[in-house]
Amino acid sequence: MITKLAPFFRSSVFKKQLVAITGLILVGFIIVHLAGNFIIFLGPDAFNHYSATLHAVPELLWIARVILIVAAIVHIYFTIVLTIENRKSGGAGRYAVKTTHGETNFAKKFMILTGLLLFFFLFLHLADFTLGEKTVEQTTLKGVDLGLYGLVWNSFLNPFRVVVYLAAVWCVGMHLSHGIQSMFQSIGFYHNRYTPQIRSASLVLGAVIAAGFSLIPVVIIVRHLMGGPTV
Ligand code: HEM
């Protein structure tokens, strides 16, 4: 049985399907993370309570983190393997579906570029909000220690960070919207009517996610200019 399945596990169809499934897990995380981040608009108590709830059961948090990390590693590893295999074969004939339904060379290069940028952004992002102890100065707003809320707010008062975050979240939107289209291609789905609709829907989803994340630093800057949060 296993020997019969071995060629399938080595096939580029299987690898593309793994990239697609792990991509879907990462998209799920992004949507949940965006929804969670929106709680910041409800004020310091709601946002800090949300964060405390996430951290309340460390075992569950770590299970989610391990799933995410494994998904990200598998996603990146098989993307690299497929790119190398595709280069070696001159880009012909190794995919589940022929590449004429939209997967152009430009799109692939663009996926690698946006994916790489996101990879580096994550280090900055985790250093900003997740790793290490933060000083009281970093979490204090108007003389009140507002914990994670204060940290996020103060972080976005730095214009350099805002530009990097805006660039990163639009990379997320573009990467994700093209990734969803590729996923349907990987599972061999093509339909004259539905494929263009899937393309439009994934473009809209990517733009909504990017715009949603962008709102956070933008609203913080605008509110800061208008006198800061009510604490
Ligand atoms: C404006 C955009 C964003 C804001 C304001 C934001 C905010 C935050 C905050 C406050 C945390 C810490 C949560 C806590 O410890 O309770 C966090 C964690 C995290 N964020 Fe973001 N985030 C943004 C965009 C992103 C994007 C685009 C990605 C992915 C590409 C991302 C991935 C992560 C990851 C992986 C964690 C660590 C989760 C963990 O603790 O295991 N974030 N983010």
**To test the ligand 1 pocket, which listed residue (25, 26, 37) has its Cβ within 8 A of the most ligand atoms?**
37
Please report which helix (H) or strand (E) contains residue 70, including its range. helix 58-88
Instruction: Give 2's pLDDT tier (boundaries 50, 70, 90).
Output: low
How far is Cα 28 from Cα 48, in angstroms, rounded to an integer?
Answer: 22
Phi-psi sector, 218: left (phi>0), alpha (psi -120 to 50), beta = alpha
183-223 residue pLDDT tens: 888 777 889 999 999 999 999 999 999 999 999 999 999 99
Instruction: Give 231's pLDDT tier (boundaries 50, 70, 90).
Output: low
48-100 residue pLDDT tens: 999 999 999 999 999 999 999 999 999 999 988 988 887 887 655 444 444 44
Exposure letters 119-135 (e unless 16+ CB within 10 A, then b) = eebeeebeebeeeeebe
How far is Cα 174 from Cα 172, in angstroms, rounded to an integer?
Answer: 6
Q: Does the pLDDT of residue 227 top 50, yes or no? A: yes
Q: Is there an atom of ligand 1 within 6 Å of 169 CB? A: yes
What pLDDT is stored for residue 113 in this prediction?
93
Q: Is there an atom of ligand 1 within 6 Å of 214 CB? A: no
Give the number of other Cβ atoms within 10 Å of residue 202's Cβ: 20
Please report which helix (H) or strand (E) contains residue 84, including its range. helix 58-88
7-18 residue pLDDT tens: 877 888 899 889
Residues listed for the chain: 231
Instruction: Give 158's pLDDT tier (boundaries 50, 70, 90).
Output: very high
- pTM for the full model? 0.90
How far is Cα 121 from Cα 172, in angstroms, rounded to an integer?
Answer: 10
Q: Is there an atom of ligand 1 within 6 Å of 125 CB? A: yes
Q: What is the mean pLDDT of the chain?
A: 89
**Residue-range domains of the chain with CATH:** 2-225 (1.20.1300)
